[in-house]
Structure 1
Amino acid sequence: MEHEETGCQAAPEGPILCVNNCGFFGSAATMNMCSKCHKDMMLKQEQAKLAASSFGSIVNGTSSINANEPVVAAATVDVQPHPVEPKTLSSQPSFSFGSGSYGEPKPEGPKRCNTCNKRVGLTGFNCRCGHLFCAVHRYSDKHDCPYDYRTAGRDAIAKANPVVKAEKLDKI
């Protein structure tokens, strides 16, 4: 009876469910939403404000902070009824460096020995010729390696030991 006389509303008897029907309980402090739904809504509003301000600066052709502030204030009224959905970027790039087309990923099959076609998995050996081999065919004489080890060795020695010549002394 006291509530009817004073005009105050009584607090609800039971807990309030989230207005987004996620199954959790909400509170009046978070607009009858659970903490996660309220956080997501605030994040969407913040992203919408940033998108509107960047769009406004592109349209106006200005990049100063003072020019963006009125656009943000005007955009908040229009943005709230139509929240912008955030788009997430995929963690994997949509292009590959080894394939000819950039849109489709390169199919990775099981790793196999180049000579006997045996599955090698993680124990495969990469040769200097660029192929993958099993433990039996890993040596160059076992798989007829086309890599020229002699020329590569000579080049390495030539780089490591440059020719040092002293300047000629002038005869007196």
Structure 2
Amino acid sequence: MEHDETGCQPPPEGPDTETRTSQTCRIINREHRQWIIERNEQESVVADAATVQTDLVEAKAISLPLINTSGSAEAAEPKTKEGPNRCSTCKKRVGLTGFKCRCGDLFCGSHRYSDKHDCPFDYRTAGRDAIAKANPVVKAEKLDRI
């Protein structure tokens, strides 16, 4: 009756429930503090191990002189792009709205189609290769006639 009048409900009964007394709170707090201390010690050990590993990696890094065996390859490859964000046909700045073509160039909105910029990419051969790859030829085995 007292519980109904005050609006309080009795604590749930069962083995899983833990009643919080001042003594159990002290035990819980002590265990929590101990857990925090152990966790911090483990993190410091892991951090120390990581710094040791990075020191080893830095010690192994050796700078070797680069030997250029193909000096003529760089001279044969001219730079085709003027700027990173310009249309290859009209040299208009396109910024982030540029369209990359299959030929490898960047174009503005009016030159993005292959017929507008004389694209050297062979779409017909690329299409045939894609269809041949997607649909392999299926041949039936020859049957012996009776």
User: Smaller-chain TM-score range?
Assistant: 0.3 to 0.5
By percentage of residues, which structure has more helix?
2
Q: TM-score, normalised by structure 1?
A: 0.37
